[in-house]
Amino acid sequence: MYKRRLLLGMLAASLLRGQEPQPAIQVTGAVKQALTLTADDLARMPRATVRTSNNGMETVYEGVWLHQVLKKAGVPQGSELRGKALASYVLAEAQDGYQVVFSLAELDPAFIDNEILLADTANGKPLFGAQGRFRLVAPKDKPGARSVRMLTKLEVVQVRK
Amino acid sequence: MAARLMTCADFDWNLPQGFPRPPVPAGNPMSAAKVELGRYLFYEKRISVNGKQSCGSCHRQELAFTDGRGRAQGTTGEQHLRSSMSLMNVAYVPFLTWANPALTSLEQQALVPMLGQTPIELGLKGREKEFLRALRADPIYQRLFPRAFPGESAFYTLDQVTKAIAAFERTIVSMRSPYDRYRWGGDPSAISESAKRGELIFFSSERAGCFQCHAGWNFSGTIQFEGGKKTGALAGFFNTGVSTYEAPNRGLYEYTQRPEDIGKFRAPSLRNIAVTAPYMHDGSLATLEQVIDHYAAGGRIEHTNKSRILHPFTLSADDKRDLIEFLRSLTDQALLHDSRWSNPWPQATR
């Protein structure tokens, strides 16, 4: 009887693990199309890489340019990024509540070559642990404070409505 | 143009893939023979005035090359103001000791405990010739010195002693802890689930935020590495509210005389931190639990120079256990006991 209960418990636990939601990035706020992007979704988008060196240790991050993600969400870019939209920003939030902002203009390749990557892979392997499943990589920032690890949400905020 | 740190391409560092090599000064290239000489000299007790201590007395391998004391004690019993720092990965440290911005080479630093008199550490000053004569007369050194310095016209010089010791110290490289295997080695089972939770607390600025001072793969302040730019800025020194910082133990201020540097000390590497108690420059915190409580309080002592990185935070008992478990996972057990870094002298003689 005990063994049967133990086996049933193990089976239930296994099924529950299989039902755990995949990690995902929420893209919300002042967007035409809110998104929930998993690693599988990002794998189907145009991919890019950024190479970084941190204290002599090199890492090649792979993912999707952040501006591509915003384009998918219908955020104004290029010739459409004008007027009140220029007073908008992206609030990037991590699992622990850490937040940083990027203006829409600095994320738009029509304005500046900033190359901010939404990464899901490092050196060919999925991100994990304190990196989270997703992170930002802002290689042209001098400090690393805006290269948000454990990224969970991108909220577009329109200051002037 | 920023100066580039020198390389030593021929020496086999045997580092795990992806880790940078340490810089090596052009005037002291590495060789296995020099490292071996350095190991003998590192554990050589005749270097002290009374034959009781060697470098290895305050830098014990099993304690990650610290000594387990709150404040170091010299061979004549004089107590140092500060605790012995770990020599793990010391080759990567741009500014040596707790707070001396002028001490930038291991060769230079080796002379401090040897010749310093306030306090006396090894007490070699005034006895240098006697010490070198003892080396010259020893059959072991008669074999090791010529191999370590081939082609040189003279052996058994103090310059060669410090170069050999420095070369040995450069090989004390710690990169094979369980966390390294987890983080870079592709082994998800290398650390416990508790340590994994602790990792998140360590790397979150919203929680403990330890990574903000103990950063990068070395969990320390600024480092240097082969081919990297030589750092000129005095980065990696912080006032963390450990004491009221009275003279003459005011940290970086003792050299810069800038009031804003009072209480600033180097953020050492947290690798092997579980075996290097007690903690802080003055050894005032006995356990990792006390260290965490110190930072959770935002630093014990208020001081005008206290780093703004510090902020109070709350950890549950479970969180604290997880964070400590993560810190334990930084212990490189193999290096603590590897005979290649151990005392080569027979126990009865040294």
pLDDT at B1: 36
* Whether residue B4 has pLDDT greater than 80: no
The hierarchical CATH code for the domain B32-173 is 1.10.760.10
Residue-averaged pLDDT of chain A: 92
Buried b / exposed e over B78-87, threshold 16 CB at 10 Å, is: eebebbbbbb
Q: Are A34 and A28 in contact (CB under 8 A)?
A: yes
Q: Is residue A10 assigned to a domain? A: no
Contact residues on chain A for B202, CB-CB shorter than 8 A:
130
Which CATH fold topology does B178-334 show?
A: Cytochrome Bc1 Complex; Chain D, domain 2 (1.10.760)
pLDDT of residue A23: 96
Euclidean distance between CA atoms B19 and B17, whole angstroms: 6
Mean pLDDT computed over B281-298 = 97
Q: How many CB pairs under 8 A join A and B?
A: 49
The tens digit of pLDDT for each residue in B302-343 reads 999 999 999 999 999 999 999 999 999 999 999 999 999 999
| Residue A35, in any domain of the structure | yes
Across the interface, of B205, B207, B225, the residue whose CB is closest to A55 is B225
Residue A3 has pLDDT above 80, yes or no: no
Q: Between chains, do A55 and B182 touch, taking CB under 8 Å as contact? A: no
Q: Which of A55, A125, A150 sits opposite B218 (nearest CB)?
A: A55
pLDDT at A4 over 70: no
pLDDT digits (tens, 9 = 90+) for A58-101: 999 999 999 999 999 999 999 999 999 999 999 999 999 999 99
- Is A145 inside any structural domain? yes
What pLDDT, on the 0 to 100 scale, is given for residue B347?
Answer: 74
* pLDDT above 80: residue A134: yes
Residues of B whose CB is below 8 A from A51: none
Q: What is the pLDDT of residue B230?
A: 77
Residue A21 pLDDT: 83
Q: Is residue A2 part of a domain?
A: no
Q: Is B326's Cβ below 8 Å from some Cβ in A?
A: no
Interface pTM, i.e. ipTM: 0.91
CB-side neighbour CA atoms (13 Å) of B159 = 6
The reported pLDDT for the residue numbered B229 is: 86
The strand ranges marked E within chain B are 237-238, 265-266
Per-residue pLDDT at B86 exceeds 70 = yes
In a domain, residue A1? The reply is: no
- Average pLDDT, integer, range B287-294: 98
Helix axes B139-148 and B158-170, enclosed angle (nearest 10): 70
Domain CATH number, residue A107:
3.90.420.10
| Per-residue confidence (pLDDT) for residue B174, from 0 to 100 | 97
- Residues spanned by CATH 1.10.760.10 within chain B? 32-173, 178-334
Shortest Cα distance from A81 to chain B (angstroms)?
Answer: 33
Expressed as residue numbers, the domain containing A122 is 21-158
- When divided into structural domains, chain A yields a total of 1
3-state secondary structure of B163: helix
Residues A56, B196: C-beta atoms closer than 8 Å: no
Q: pTM for the complete prediction?
A: 0.93
pLDDT of residue B268: 97
Distance from C-alpha of A124 to C-alpha of B98, rounded to nearest angstrom: 39
